[in-house]
Amino acid sequence: MLNTDSSYLLAQRREKRRSSDVPQTSSSQDWKPEHCAVREDDLSHRALALSFMRSQDIRLKTTRGGYESASKRFNPADVEVDVAGRSFLVTGANSGIGKATAKEIARRGGTVHLVCRNKERAEIAKEEIVTETGNQNIFLHIVDISNPKEIWKFAEKFQNEHKLNVLINNAGCMVNNRELTEDGLEKNFATNTLGTYIMTTALVPLLEKAADARVITVSSGGMLVQKLNVSDLQSESGPFDGTMVYAQNKRQQVVLTEQWAKAHRNIHFSVMHPGWADTPAVRSAMPDFYERMKNSLRTEAQGADTVLWLAVSAEAAKLPSGLFFQDRQPVPTHLPLAYTHSPPEDEEKLLEVLEEFSQKFKSASPGI
């Protein structure tokens, strides 16, 4: 894997030296190299990531206090809208940020399609959303996002039966051991990257027909520590580090969003960091982080706030397509440590490989 490759580490060190000479620009004002208290001789993605997450400045912005402070500049009217007649699809909608988003859209009158993998958990969530909001236009679809054939089957059926204005790619996972799906795909990659890719590209034709169509992908600020790595998409070489694989997938979501924005001008794409919110995923996948941070994590609704804003507000759609957001504003996709910038050929390669996977599974899906 690139991140254990010595030439890559050397390149990182060169970048680090260079970056300390670079004056802070507006795009890097939230981050200074000294926040990354990593000595050159132990510089690695993991050290950078841990340092990044522990950084006082980052912590202040991404936790509950950061939300409360940022929300002082929010315009409440942005999300006080009636979205009756508009159709929203939320993946991973039975829990955490996805459920909080679905509930808020339901409160505003939207038709909401909940896409979940577990029927029992999904039905409980649907019941809760209908009861709390009084909105009956809540529909359930059982799809495992790590299963490309299921996504294709679902998307083909969905296109024939429904309209869609807004797709929210929220389902995500951090699996800490290298596990394979029944198709032999590494689970984090299958869910976070390939699943997001297939769900989005399969629904683009339907979105193209809709007014004010939007796609929002829930990424993570953790992606800031990763440079796109197309050489080992399924983490086959080197030691497996679930946190870094997750961060790499989340970087891939950012790159995909930028590419989709260029390719599909009639659809508004955005990708976002919810901040650190107290959800089942954080509790189970990052127990140490959770223990340290549990008193300052955002609520699920606070984590969902920017997703909701991107999904329903007129203001969000006025901004350019393809941006990365935190707390209702676009933020940089790279730290001043510029080694995370990737060459265009790597970004094209990512799309190429994902499209190959996607077509392979499409042709293997019965009835499509």
DSSP for 177-222, written as a single string: S--B-TTS-BHHIIIIIIIHHHHHHHHHHHHHTSTTEEEEEE--GG
Nearest residue to 223 via CA among 286, 280, 271, 277? 271
If one asks whether residue 95 binds ligand NAP (CB under 6 A), the answer comes out as yes
Q: Partners of 287 in the beta sheet?
A: none
- Token readout for 348 is 């094209």
Which residues contact residue 356 at a Cβ distance below 8 angstroms, ignoring those fewer than 6 apart?
none
183-202 residues in contact with ligand NAP (CB under 6 A) are 191
Work out how close the CB of 230 gets to ligand NAP at its nearest, in angstroms, rounded to a whole number. 21
Q: 9 or 154, CB closer to ligand NAP?
A: 154
Per CB under 6 A, the list member of 15, 30, 104, 144 interacting with ligand NAP is: 144
290-349 residues in contact with ligand NAP (CB under 6 A) are 303
Question: How big is the site for ligand NAP, counted in residues (CB under 6 A)?
Answer: 29
Site string for ligand NAP, 113-142 (x = CB under 6 A): ---xxx--x---------------------
Site string for ligand NAP, 146-175 (x = CB under 6 A): x-----------------------xxxx--
Q: 28 or 147, CB closer to ligand NAP?
A: 147
If one asks whether residue 98 binds ligand NAP (CB under 6 A), the answer comes out as yes
- Token readout for 268 is 């508004």
- Token readout for 227 is 């440079």
Q: Which stretch binds ligand NAP (CB under 6 A): 22-30, 88-96, 317-325, 335-343?
A: 88-96
If one asks whether residue 282 binds ligand NAP (CB under 6 A), the answer comes out as yes
If one asks whether residue 248 binds ligand NAP (CB under 6 A), the answer comes out as no
Work out how close the CB of 222 gets to ligand NAP at its nearest, in angstroms, rounded to a whole number. 7
d(CA 158, CA 177) in angstroms, rounded, equals: 33
9, 50, 238, 239, 368 from 5: Cα distances, Å: 6, 19, 9, 12, 42
Q: 275 or 336, CB closer to ligand NAP?
A: 275
Q: 43 or 112, CB closer to ligand NAP?
A: 112
* C-beta separation of 242 from 188 below 8 A: yes
- Spell 197-208 as b/e; 16+ CB within 10 A means b: bbbbbbbbebbe
Expressed in percent and rounded to 5, the helix, strand and coil fractions of the chain are 55, 10, 35
Start-to-end CA distance of the chain, whole Å, equals 36
If one asks whether residue 225 binds ligand NAP (CB under 6 A), the answer comes out as no
Work out how close the CB of 144 gets to ligand NAP at its nearest, in angstroms, rounded to a whole number. 5
Among 67, 246, 290, 339, which one carries the catalytic annotation? 246
246 is catalytic: yes
Work out how close the CB of 168 gets to ligand NAP at its nearest, in angstroms, rounded to a whole number. 10
Site string for ligand NAP, 227-246 (x = CB under 6 A): --------------------
* C-beta separation of 137 from 131 below 8 A: no
- Token readout for 42 is 């132990």
Residues marked as catalytic: 246
Q: Which residues make up the interface to ligand NAP (CB under 6 A)?
A: 92, 94-98, 116-118, 121, 144-146, 170-173, 191, 218, 220, 273-274, 276-277, 279-282, 303
